[in-house]
Structures are given as structure tokens and as C-alpha cells.
């Protein structure tokens, strides 16, 4: 268990199935996972976890340092281990953009909450991410940002229970849509 995430919190049941209260945000770097995550956490009285920050705390290194020292597969391996160690309720969890490469990690997260894909077009993402080479983004050296986007998008779509188009909405509208879609899902 990491960072005070001790499993205390509300757990609902539907029949015999446990329903965790977590919201798991997935999507590309620059999609707004951390920003929307903090806003959702405040609005819903939940704790907030950013798995990229947890990786940095656990390893005592920046994502870019891990990438430089261990390569993109090394960073993905650390990310998977950190995600698999999460066991919490009543949190909003913002994942790193490469979390979707790990089937084990994504199934673990899905077992603990609702997975929401923050869907943003490539053109919008490109304007938001100015530090592609130094931001600690797990990718092959020969891979362009567009290639990375096209490779990851089907993964996000596969794991998402809810997908919210975010490129044309402001942050409050994105939060409103997530909450409305989650309410419909529970009803």
C-alpha cells in the first residue's frame, strides 16, 4: 500500500459484487488527467492519486531519469508495479499515459473502480505537450508523438468503461459529463 492508501473508505455492493468508489482516469499525456482528477476529487470529497507522482516517490527519480537510465520498457515495468500495489477506495486515480500497455495493471485498476478515458484529439494534445522529449513519456526512440498517439488510442478505448471527449469542453464541463455518465451507469 502506498501513500496512505489503506483501503479505508466506502465500498458499495451490487448483489455479491463489490463496487469500489475509485475513478480511474486514462488517456494521453496532456489529456488533462491530473487537472481533471484534482477537480473531481474536490467535487466528490475523494482523495487524489497521480501514479506518475507515485512512481517518482517510490523510485526517488523523475520519470525522465528512469527513462534515460532504464529505457521505455523499464519505465513501463516500474509503472505496472506501482499500479499493482494500489489498494484503495474513495480515490480519483490519474494514471500515466502508458498504463494502458499493461493488461494486468488495467484489470487491477478496473477491479477497484470505474475507468474513464479522457479522449482528446491529436491536434489538441500536440498543442498541450510542448516537452515531448523531456517529459518522461514512455516511447520507443524512433516513435513520433503521432505514432504514439495512434498506438495508444485503441488501448484506451479497450479499457474504458466511459469515454469523454475533452478537446472541445472546458474542465468543469468534462467533470460534469463524467459525473453524469457515472450516475447513469450506477442507476
CATH code at position 27: 3.40.50.300
Look at the chain and report how many structural domains it folds into: 1
Is 83 among the domain residues?
yes
What angle, 0 to 180 degrees and rounded to 10, lies between the N-to-C axes of helices 51-59 and 63-84?
Answer: 110
Q: How far apart are the first and last CA of the chain?
A: 31
Task: Report if residue 16 sits inside a domain.
Answer: no
Q: Kind of pairing, strands 162-165 and 11-14?
A: unpaired
Identify any residues that bridge with 91 across adjacent strands, giving them in sequence order: 47
- pLDDT single digits (tens) 7-55: 333 333 333 334 468 999 999 999 999 999 999 999 999 999 999 999 9
Task: Answer yes or no: is 173 within a domain.
Answer: yes
Judge whether 7 lies within some domain: no
The angle at the Cα of 64, spanning 58 to 66, to the nearest 5 degrees, equals 50
Q: Is the pLDDT of residue 142 over 70?
A: yes
Answering whether pTM is above 0.85, one says yes
Among 159, 165, 166, 122, which Cα is nearest to 144's?
A: 122
Domain of residue 54 covers: 21-186
Contact 92, 22 (CB under 8 A): yes
Residue 58 domain-assigned (yes or no): yes
Amino acid at each position: 500500500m502506498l501513500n496512505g492508501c489503506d483501503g479505508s473508505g466506502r465500498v458499495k455492493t451490487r448483489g455479491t459484487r463489490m463496487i469500489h468508489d475509485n475513478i480511474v482516469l486514462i488517456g494521453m499525456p496532456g489529456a488533462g488527467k491530473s487537472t481533471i482528477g484534482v477537480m473531481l476529487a474536490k467535487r466528490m470529497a475523494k482523495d487524489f492519486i497521480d501514479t506518475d507522482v507515485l512512481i517518482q516517490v517510490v523510485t526517488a527519480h523523475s520519470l525522465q531519469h528512469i527513462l534515460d537510465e532504464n529505457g521505455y520498457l523499464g519505465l513501463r515495468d516500474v509503472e505496472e508495479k506501482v499500479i499493482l500495489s494500489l489498494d484503495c477506495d474513495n480515490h480519483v486515480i490519474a494514471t500515466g499515459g502508458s498504463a494502458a500497455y499493461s493488461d494486468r495493471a488495467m484489470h487491477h485498476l478496473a477491479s477497484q473502480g470505474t475507468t474513464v478515458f479522457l479522449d482528446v484529439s491529436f491536434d489538441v494534445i500536440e498543442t498541450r505537450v510542448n516537452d515531448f522529449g523531456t517529459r518522461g513519456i514512455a516511447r520507443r526512440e524512433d516513435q513520433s508523438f503521432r505514432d504514439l498517439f495512434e498506438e495508444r488510442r485503441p488501448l484506451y478505448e479497450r479499457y474504458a468503461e466511459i469515454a469523454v471527449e475533452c478537446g472541445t469542453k472546458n474542465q468543469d464541463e468534462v467533470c460534469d459529463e463524467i459525473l453524469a455518465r457515472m450516475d447513469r451507469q450506477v442507476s
